[in-house]
């Protein structure tokens, strides 16, 4: 196992290098020179040249000690991403956004996971009954309603009409208060697709021979579902769950925007709109690292949840 993990960690090096090369080419070669944009609409050539110099756009792209690619490489590996176009340190920007993003997405993630798996077990147990049909119908209905509608309705009805929650994040109040409603909306909006996914997995397992045998041995339904079915359904659950973890850090763009949560989803979209390639580079690099790491975690988790999985 240790050798496997070390080998996989070593594989990360070329992957990360590849990501750096691709992001550099995308943002620098394809994205073009953004000095004109920074200089404003009516800037003269001198100002534009000065900005090119300040941001290093006048340096060679590759094949020089002071090339833009090496600078890009150095920034990534030292985690010193420099300053964004608005001159704020990118590290500080990202660090500030991680908390609010996770504060929103982690409860959403666990809430959706627990509720959908629990419901999936229930409907698997009640399969073929009216309740099963009703829940499947509600899932499909939930999946068909646009995410934005959940947000607009939730904000209008629960925050404005009923006044149960804040309408928008107010920095003078603790952030958790502003996160309850968007998190609940996120859970409800995501429930349909997740529940259907886990229901399918559970039904596959429930139809297995070992389940019939367990019931024949006289085990209670609760014991069969939680001790046997759930355990055997863990491989797809782990895959779905662990690989979702890196994306939690990115937050939820729409929810963050409508509820004013100052997270990284918001930051990312603002960076795209402003063509702030410095921020985008940093975010892409961090995301690549996280995805590579959690892919490794997923593989390790397979062995943990299923003893049949062995690492060579």
Partner 1 sequence: MKGFIKQFVFVMPAICILLLLISGCSKKDDDGKSGEMVLRYSLISKVTNIDPGNIQDVYGSQLVSQICESLYTYHYLKRPFEIIPCLAADMPVISEDKLTYTISIKKGVFFHNNPCFPDGKGRELKAQDFVFAFKRIANVKYASVNWGGLKDYIVGLNEFREYTKQFKKEYDVDYSYDVEGLQALDDYTFQIKLAKPWPQLINDLTGVVTAPVAKEVVDYYKIDAPVHPIGTGPFKLKTWQRGIYIELERNEHYRDDFYPTEGELSDIENGYLEDAGKQMPFVDRVIYRVIEEYQPAWLLFLRGEFDRLYIPKDNFDSAVDIVSKAPKEFMKDRNIEVTIKDQPSLYYLGFNMKDPVLGNNKPLRKAISFAVNREQINELMYNNRWRIAHSLVHPLLDGYNPELAELNYMAYDLSKAKELLREAEKIHGGSIPPLKIGWPGSDPFSRQFAQLIQRQIEKAGIKIEINYLDWPTYVDMMNKGQHQIFGSGVRFSSPDPLSVFSMFPTKYFAPMGNSFFYSNPEYDALYERAEVMFPSPERAELFHKMEKMVLEDYPAVFTTQRVQYNLHHEWYDNYKPHPFLYSHVKYIRIDSEKQRAYKELLKELKKKDQ
Which residues bind to partner 1, rule: CB under 8 A?
Answer: 32, 34, 36-44, 46-47, 50-51, 54, 86-88, 93, 115, 118, 121-122, 125, 152, 155-156, 159-160, 164-171, 173-174, 176-177, 180-181, 184, 220-222, 225, 257-260, 262, 266-267, 270, 272-275
Nearest to 152 by CA among 190, 107, 189, 116: 189
Name which of 280 and 288 has its Cβ closer to partner 1.
280
Task: Kindly state the smallest distance separating residue 220's Cβ from partner 1, in Å.
Answer: 7
Q: For residue 130, how far is the Cα from the chain centroid?
A: 35
Q: Which of 236, 246, 221, 278 is nearest to 98 (CA)?
A: 246
Question: Using CA of residue 120, residue 122, residue 127, residue 129, what is the dihedral sign?
Answer: negative
Q: CB-wise, 10 or 216, nearer to partner 1?
A: 216
- Residue number with CB closer to partner 1 (37 or 200): 37
Minimum distance from residue 259 beta carbon to partner 1 (Å)? 7
Please identify, using beta-carbon distances, which residue of 51 and 201 lies nearer to partner 1.
Answer: 51
CB of 110 to partner 1, least distance (A): 12
Smallest separation, CB 145 to partner 1 (Å): 17
In whole angstroms, the minimum distance from the beta carbon of 97 to partner 1 comes to 10
> 204 or 270: whose CB is closer to partner 1?
270
**Considering the complex, what minimum distance in angstroms separates the CB of residue 64 from partner 1?**
20
For 312, the token pair is: 């060579």
What is the CB neighbour count within 10 angstroms for residue 200?
Answer: 14
Q: Which one, of 25, 51, 5, 81, lies nearest residue 312 by Cα?
A: 5
Q: How far apart are CA 249 and CA 290, in angstroms?
A: 9
**3-class DSSP assignment, residue 291:** helix
**Cα(2)–Cα(298) distance, integer angstroms:** 15
Q: Give the orientation angle of helix 130-144 with respect to helix 90-125, to 10 degrees.
A: 150
Closer residue to partner 1 (CB): 74 or 173: 173
């Amino acid at each position: 196992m240790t050798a496997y993990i070390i080998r996989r960690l070593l594989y990360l090096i070329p992957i990360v290098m590849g990501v750096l090369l691709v992001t550099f080419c995308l943002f620098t070669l394809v994205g073009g020179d953004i000095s004109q944009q920074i200089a404003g609409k009516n800037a003269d050539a001198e100002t534009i040249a000065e900005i090119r110099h300040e941001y290093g756009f006048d340096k060679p792209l590759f094949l020089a000690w002071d090339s833009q690619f090496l600078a890009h490489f150095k920034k990534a590996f030292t985690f010193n991403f420099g300053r964004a176009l608005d001159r704020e340190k990118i590290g500080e920007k990202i660090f500030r956004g991680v908390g609010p993003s996770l504060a929103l997405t982690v409860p959403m993630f666990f809430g959706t996971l627990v509720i959908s798996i629990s419901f999936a077990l229930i409907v698997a147990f009640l399969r073929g009954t009216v309740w099963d049909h009703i829940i499947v119908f509600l899932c499909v209905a939930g999946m068909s309603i646009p995410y934005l509608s959940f947000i607009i309705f939730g904000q209008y009805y629960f925050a404005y009409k009923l006044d149960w929650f804040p309408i928008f994040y107010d920095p003078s109040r603790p952030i958790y208060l502003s996160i309850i409603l968007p998190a609940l909306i996120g859970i409800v909006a995501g429930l349909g697709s997740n529940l259907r996914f886990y229901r399918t997995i559970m039904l596959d397992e429930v139809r297995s021979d070992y389940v019939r045998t367990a019931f024949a041995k006289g085990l209670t339904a609760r014991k069969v579902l939680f001790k046997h079915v759930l355990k055997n359904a863990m491989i797809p659950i782990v895959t779905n769950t662990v690989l979702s973890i890196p994306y939690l850090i990115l937050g939820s763009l729409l929810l963050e925007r409508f509820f004013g949560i100052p997270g990284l989803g918001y930051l990312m979209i603002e960076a795209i709109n402003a063509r702030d390639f410095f921020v985008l580079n940093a975010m892409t690099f961090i995301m690549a690292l996280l995805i590579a790491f959690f892919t490794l975690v997923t593989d390790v988790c397979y062995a943990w949840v299923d003893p049949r999985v062995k690492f060579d």
